[in-house]
Chain A
Amino acid sequence: MAGRARARPGFAFDGPSMERFWTLENDFLAALGRTERDLSVRRNQLLLSAVLFGGLLDAETWPDWIRSVMGHLRSLAPGERLDARLTQAVFISGKGRNWFADPITQNLLSRQMATKSRGSTGTGSHQGSDYARILQLGETALTTELKNWVLPAAKIKMALLWPPVVVEHCVGSLRSASLSRKGWSELNISDVKPCRPMLAPDELHRPEPPKPTKGRKRHWFEDNLFHFIRVAIEKAIDSYATSADPTLAHERLELHSAITHSLEPDSKLSFVNS
């Protein structure tokens, strides 16, 4: 399918299966406050999180992904910190690409350090739900379950929220989507969910960015960045314009007009009769 253009959305959905999917997602979010002790439950929770929120939509990468993450978790001694790089990006060797953690999965991963030594509660209030059932599955059964209905719905969810090129990359059809680490994070942040029924638990709130030490310096710099760039460009133009080479006349004029034109806040046009 890669490389072939199409004129219509590459998916079709039906209401009930999407309803089931959203219920699963809501249950997942509602249960985020609890911490799981059992390693297999944690594995299921992490994989589900990566599928629901992190765009890990290529089932072929799941075994590698689980191996990378769980191998690292198992190797941790009680109280030892998780490798910070793992919470940011997981290298999936089979496909030779990185997977970048979304905020929720990132949070779940970094919580592993704290829960390794502490006790935990059970799955509790969602007994009988899809979510509670999925958490108890073995690895093979989990993969089958996810492939059967979670993955198709997750693909549709992504297709309703993200540009097709990103979705195609997530499902493994396009090798590269040329998105930076920051680009991936922003995709998750700008995720438009009009009716998410609950707030994220307290621990999901991001820490405040460190405040600048010297009063308004940070803002002053941001406001004036454009000015600095402009001054630098003008200096460059001046040195260019004063060069003695006459063959540069045309380029000089072009560059100068292009830059002044684009920096001009408003042209001086007005209308007769207005």
Chain B
Amino acid sequence: MLEDDQFNPVQPHAQHPAQLQGARARVHRENHSLPLRKGVATPAQVAATENALSVLLRSLRNSRLDPSLLRAGLTIRLMLDLGRSAAQLSGLRRISLASEKSCPAAEWGLVSWANEGSTKFGWWLPAGVHIDPKRPDITDRGAVWLPLLERTSPWLAMAGLLEGCCSPSPLLAATPREAKLDASAFQAWAKATLGPLASALPRVDRLPGTVIEKLAWASTGDRTLGKQIGGQDLEHSAARSYYTSLPVPKAATLYAKAMARPVSDLSLVAEADNHGRISIPSFAKSAFTRASDSGRVCDIRSTLELLGPKPDQRQKDLELIASHNKLVARLWILLALSTATRSVIDWVPGLRRIEPRTGGLIVLDKDRTSALGKVADQNLGTSLGRARLVFLPPAVQEMLRFYIDHLRTLSGRNNIHTRSKAVIDRHVKGLEADDVLPFLILQEHPKGLAEKGLVVRQAKVLWLKEAIAGLADVPANFARHTLRSGLVGHLPQSVIDAWLGHFDLGTEPWSNGSAFDPSAYRALLNVTFEAHFEAAAEFDRLPVKSRRKECSGRQG
């Protein structure tokens, strides 16, 4: 599996010969881009292209034009709708599915399938992916499903592509060169027909970027998401790309929302009911925008529900072992989620590290190992390295306090081994101060429970993850995958980036000139945590007394 440290968004640029100064500057320019930037068609230019396309379609219907212009017009239409360049569109095919469960092997294009008596259509296309020049062997390209826009269907109908057919047929030009020639044929036609109005048309290579811009400039939009959906390979943000793996239905919904509204009032928040509105064949429903399985969103809720109730000191030894260890696993999951920890989290922060009113916590999980970083730290008089500020939600703080209380009562238990007692006492003392300590799990003494009692030992996180929490199939830093993949489209990119510690040069959330608002950041984190995880974080709120009454009632 790829290590997180390999995805430093800053350092590799300096090392790779293909990304020297000019290329690096271009990447940064792109990251800082404003709406209506150079290289992407402006709304006015898009509107002019739409006008030209409607004129062309009308002329084609009246059969006054060379039919070869139909392919040229369709190429431009699809560039605007699918966010792909002419070269990327070449080679797309028209695919008819025998059943919606069958997956076209390495075939991309317009997919049709029969569903409830009618024929449905949609685009099954390769997603954009980050290509690491140092590791070309890793192919991680996922797929996206894009709904067929109503404005595209007249073109397809005229080309006879919406009729039932069984054999895969090419949609557009077969080679990139021919596709580019088609695009320029459109421009030549526009110049000849529209006269001075044709000067409002943009260069054709500026059309595909408009889809990315629509997805990137929404209030909860994200450029990585835009590039994945638009099929553009990412030149920046390896880390963001690494953690962003959307289920295909969610990506389809976000695309549909972005295309249906003007940029100004767009919020990409995907509501659950919208998933049903776009028909997606079942083979695509289970796909993701990244192919490798390290980015799967973990089902936190059901995992936490499996972990069961709070430990009770009145439990018998074996029961206590199980419930204590489940408590540790639960705390581990919640800390990982709320701090978006980089590596395998095996620490618990002491209470004095947490800011008492806001729940702020400085997380330092990425040392600056390069000499440059160390010098920068020295100059600034800090040793904070790549620290991040996160806010622990109240539910997690409460859980942390419960864990400390629980440890304290555990050390007073009779059959805890003497040495373990000392360890627990030390931990309690450290956690009430500002130490950072590993988790303690409970076990039988190797020489027997009856003779030596219970012992504690430091938890290995892999063991916690697999044996206790049952999360064998997710990566150890599942929280970062879960947060980025799950929240993209729900939260502004700046908030997710600050949470996860991702930034591009010049867009650091905590730099001196940054206007990143910590109050809004905290509010959004708390709301998110509440909405996504807090219901699962709450456990066993029933007071112990009432359950005891029930038990005694039955006995009586």
Pick out which of these stretches binds chain B: A4-12, A111-119, A128-136: A4-12
Q: At the interface, yes or no: A233 with Cβ under 8 Å from chain B?
A: no
B379 to chain A, nearest CB (A): 8
Q: Are A8 and B387 in contact (CB under 8 A)?
A: yes
Q: Are B384 and A8 in contact (CB under 8 A)?
A: yes
User: Known interface pairs A8-B387, A15-B354. Does A174 touch B512 (Cβ–Cβ under 8 Å)?
Assistant: yes
User: Known interface pairs A253-B48, A262-B264. Does A5 touch B519 (Cβ–Cβ under 8 Å)?
Assistant: no
Q: Are B197 and A273 in contact (CB under 8 A)?
A: no
Q: Which residues of chain B are within 8 angstroms of A160 by Cβ–Cβ distance? A: 355, 358, 360, 389, 518-519, 522
Pick out which of these stretches binds chain B: A27-35, A163-171, A219-227: A163-171
**Alpha-carbon distance between A173 and B380 when the two chains are bound, in angstroms:** 13
Q: Which residues of chain A are within 8 angstroms of B256 by Cβ–Cβ distance? A: 271, 274
Q: Which residues of chain B are within 8 angstroms of A1 by Cβ–Cβ distance? A: 380, 512
Q: At the interface, yes or no: B312 with Cβ under 8 Å from chain A?
A: no
Q: Are B196 and A163 in contact (CB under 8 A)?
A: no
Q: Are B513 and A168 in contact (CB under 8 A)?
A: yes
Q: Are A257 and B47 in contact (CB under 8 A)?
A: yes
Q: At the interface, yes or no: B164 with Cβ under 8 Å from chain A?
A: no
Q: At the interface, yes or no: B104 with Cβ under 8 Å from chain A?
A: no
The A-B contact count (CB < 8 A) is: 190
User: Known interface pairs A163-B515, A165-B513. Does A271 touch B148 (Cβ–Cβ under 8 Å)?
Assistant: yes
**Per a CB cutoff under 8 Å, which of A165, A253, A273 touches B120?**
A273
**Alpha-carbon distance between A262 and B516 when the two chains are bound, in angstroms:** 26
Give the number of residues in B that approach A within 8 Å (Cβ atoms): 68
Q: Are B518 and A6 in contact (CB under 8 A)?
A: no
Question: Using a CB-CB cutoff of 8 Å, which residues 233-263 of chain B contact chain A?
Answer: 256, 259-262
**Alpha-carbon distance between A160 and B120 when the two chains are bound, in angstroms:** 52
Q: Which residues of chain B are within 8 angstroms of A10 by Cβ–Cβ distance? A: 380, 382, 384, 510, 512
Question: Using a CB-CB cutoff of 8 Å, which residues 32-57 of chain B contact chain A?
Answer: 42-45, 47-48
Q: At the interface, yes or no: B278 with Cβ under 8 Å from chain A?
A: yes
Q: Which residues of chain A are within 8 angstroms of B356 by Cβ–Cβ distance? A: 15, 18-19, 22
Give the number of residues in A that approach B within 8 Å (Cβ atoms): 56
Q: At the interface, yes or no: A229 with Cβ under 8 Å from chain B?
A: no
Question: Using a CB-CB cutoff of 8 Å, which residues 145-160 of chain B contact chain A?
Answer: 147-153
User: Known interface pairs A2-B512, A160-B358. Does A273 touch B148 (Cβ–Cβ under 8 Å)?
Assistant: yes
Q: At the interface, yes or no: A190 with Cβ under 8 Å from chain B?
A: yes
Q: Are B513 and A164 in contact (CB under 8 A)?
A: yes
Q: At the interface, yes or no: A121 with Cβ under 8 Å from chain B?
A: no
Q: Which residues of chain B are within 8 angstroms of A266 by Cβ–Cβ distance? A: 260-262
1/0 contact trace for B353-365 toward A, CB 8 Å? 1111110101000
Which residue of chain A has the shortest Cβ distance to B394 in the bound complex? A194
Q: Which residues of chain A are within 8 angstroms of B149 by Cβ–Cβ distance? A: 269-272
Between A14, A260, A273, the greatest number of chain B beta carbons within 10 A of the residue's beta carbon is seen for A273
A161 to chain B, nearest CB (A): 5
Question: Using a CB-CB cutoff of 8 Å, which residues 134-167 of chain A contact chain B?
Answer: 156, 159-165
1/0 contact trace for A193-223 toward B, CB 8 Å? 1110000000000000000000000000000
Can you report 17 residue pairs joining A to B where beta carbons are below 8 Å apart? A8-B387, A13-B355, A14-B352, A15-B434, A160-B358, A160-B518, A160-B522, A162-B518, A164-B510, A164-B512, A249-B197, A254-B200, A256-B44, A262-B43, A264-B262, A271-B148, A273-B120
Q: B residues bordering A, Cβ < 8 Å?
A: 42-45, 47-48, 120-122, 147-153, 196-197, 199-200, 256, 259-262, 264, 277-279, 351-358, 360, 362, 376, 379-380, 382, 384-389, 434, 501, 503, 505-506, 508-519, 522-523
Add 6 more A-B contacts to A272-B147, A274-B256 (CB < 8 A). A10-B380, A193-B357, A253-B47, A254-B42, A257-B48, A258-B42
